[in-house]
Amino acid sequence: MNEIPITSIDGFAFGHADNKEAATGCTVVVCENGAKAGVAVRGGSPGTRETDALNPENFVEQVHGVFLAGGSAFGLEAGSGVMNELERKGIGFDVQVTKVPIVPGAILFDLMVGDEKVRPDNDMGQQATRNAFLNVPFLKGNVGAGTGASVGKLLGASYAMKGGVGHYAIKVGELKVGAVVAVNSFGDVIDPATGNLLAGAYDRKQGCFLGSKQVLLEQMNTAKTNRFSGNTTIGVITCNAALSKSEANKLASIAHDGLARTISPSHTFVDGDTLFAMTTNQVNVDLNGLSYLATHVVEQAVIQAVLSAKSDYQLPAYSTIIKEG
């Protein structure tokens, strides 16, 4: 098992676009020739587009891109920009009079970090797609959908830390598997290999983590369930494994274990945690081994997101507190 750049998974193109001043952005994964795809929504407050198309009982067999965006439900407009750019390039489902790109996606809540009136839109979706085709370096951290992402918001913004976008990929023989994840969680981010907290509810004056699980238990009888301070972790698994549509959906579901291992608590009522799975459908593999690898790359992408994040928007990042500590 060797780590590889996610951009080396053949058949996919990856792009970001963002507005740093407004603290929001969009990330796209494009598959020009179409990809089998599935989705699993586990959070209690999702914001998604075109996920019904991925239901195995429905007609369309391939998608041409997936987008991840900030902006809460407003950010779903970025999907139209991805569609428009793909149509311009002649990519999509052939309906004779045109080609209709099938572009599902999901959003996260970042409106409280920057300018809540500026959200990912048609133009930003188009730009992210152009950047993917231009092979603009696909960065990690405060970019794309992770620009305004934050983590550990149990006690509000004054205790939160910077989240971001992470990606990670591996190769085993001919199989390539990767994940892109925008981490914007209600809970803390933990390194499962060590059990150490990497980012989360953080007391800036005392210079210590508060432990969201413990705080949550202490608030059981006093706090309200609706804590919309801005949550949701969303991502895309990309691979070249031969899968049916049903198997792609199951793979996306199993890969949520990668979120559960690294985010505590995860899949809450105020997170919209959503993972997509896309494949170019080329390499026959054991599905159990593939499921393990998909979970692993999601886990590592989450960790990369917070390790790569930089302090900004009055939110400290892992890299800052480690230096200070």
Give the residue from 75, 40, 35 showing the smallest Cα distance to 55.
40
Instruction: Using the Cα atoms of residue 248, residue 250, residue 253 and residue 258 in order, give the sign of their dihedral.
Output: negative
Q: To the nearest 5 percent, what fractions of the chain are helix, strand and coil?
A: 30, 30, 40
Indicate the domain borders of the chain.
Answer: 2-324
Q: List residues bridging with 64 in a β-sheet.
A: none
CATH 3.60.70.12 fits 2-324, yes or no: yes
Structure tokens at 93: 């489902």
Amino acid of residue 229: S
293, containing H or E segment: helix 287-308
pLDDT (tens digit, 0 to 9) for every residue of the chain, 325 residues total?
Answer: 899 999 999 999 999 999 999 999 999 999 999 999 999 998 778 889 999 999 999 888 899 999 999 999 999 999 999 999 999 999 999 998 999 999 999 999 999 899 999 999 999 999 999 999 999 999 999 999 999 999 998 778 888 999 999 999 999 999 999 999 999 998 899 999 999 999 988 888 887 777 666 666 666 555 554 444 457 899 999 999 999 999 999 999 999 999 999 998 778 776 778 999 999 999 999 999 999 999 999 999 999 999 999 999 999 999 888 766 5
Give the phi and the psi of residue 126 in degrees, each rounded to 5: -65, -45
What pTM did the predictor assign?
Answer: 0.93
Helix (H, G, I), strand (E, B) or coil at 130: helix
Peptide linkage before 265 cis (omega within 30 of 0):
yes
| Number of C-beta neighbours around residue 255 at 10 A | 29
Distance CA 2, CA 282 (A): 19
List all residues 6 or more positions away from 246 whose beta carbon is below 8 Å from its beta carbon: 38, 56
Structure tokens at 55: 């239901």
List all residues 6 or more positions away from 233 whose beta carbon is below 8 Å from its beta carbon: 43, 108, 181, 182, 183, 184, 185, 259, 263, 266, 271, 273, 302
